[in-house]
Amino acid sequence: MGPQPHHTSSVTTVCRLRGGAPGVYRGAMAFEGWPVEAVEFFERLEDDNTKAFWTEQKHVYEQCVKAPMVALLAELEDRCGEGKVFRPYRDVRFSKDKTPYKTNVGIQFRHERGKDVHAPGFYLHLEPGGCFAGIGMWRPETRVARQIRAHIYEHPDDWRKATTYKRFTSVWDSTTQSVAEFPACRS
């Protein structure tokens, strides 16, 4: 069963950022959460992931999925920098699964020096089963992954302190994806 909506005076939402300031942001709507229709859209897309469905329902995606994400990006831009909404189209060229559309939506804020999806950053993901946020790197190059592992290996107390810091652990759950053993740290 997916997330249960809660009701506010102006909109029914499935997820909501705490402490969001109301207002108008660069011509976009203020972020007020995601309407239940966003989750319903993805549930229907899971059942009928075809171009015909997408074409007929694209307005729902634009209004109920993309527009709230763009509003959230605008609201967080001063604190997190410029973010982006991931495209809804799947890259099916090398996949056995040829369904053309993603049944989720994600946004990413990259580190200010990041040039691509592999740069460190923040990620927010919404789908019918729930939503989650993540921080870190996605599939770093082998050389970069080795540098990160070597640094953690050489400074285990710093890593432990950073990942057990109360302010960090009150917001982030770092137990969901971790390596069972540290791989070799040779450069």
DSSP 135-186: EE-SS--HHHHHHHHHHHHH-HHHHHHHHH-HHHHTT--TTSS--SSPPP--
Q: Are 28 and 70 in contact (CB under 8 A)?
A: yes
User: Own/partner pairs for 142-148, CB < 8 Å, 24+ apart?
Assistant: 143/187, 144/118, 146/185, 146/186, 146/187, 147/187
| 64 pLDDT more than 80 | yes
Cα dihedral 135, 1, 103, 83, rounded to 10, equals -30
Position 89 pLDDT exceeds 60: yes
Residue 112: what pLDDT?
78
pLDDT at 24: 30
Neighbour-count burial for 7-30, b at 16+ CB within 10 Å, e otherwise: eeeeeebbbeeeeeeeeebeeeee
Between residues 147 and 23, the one the model is more confident about: 147
- The confidence score (pLDDT) of residue 86 equals 94
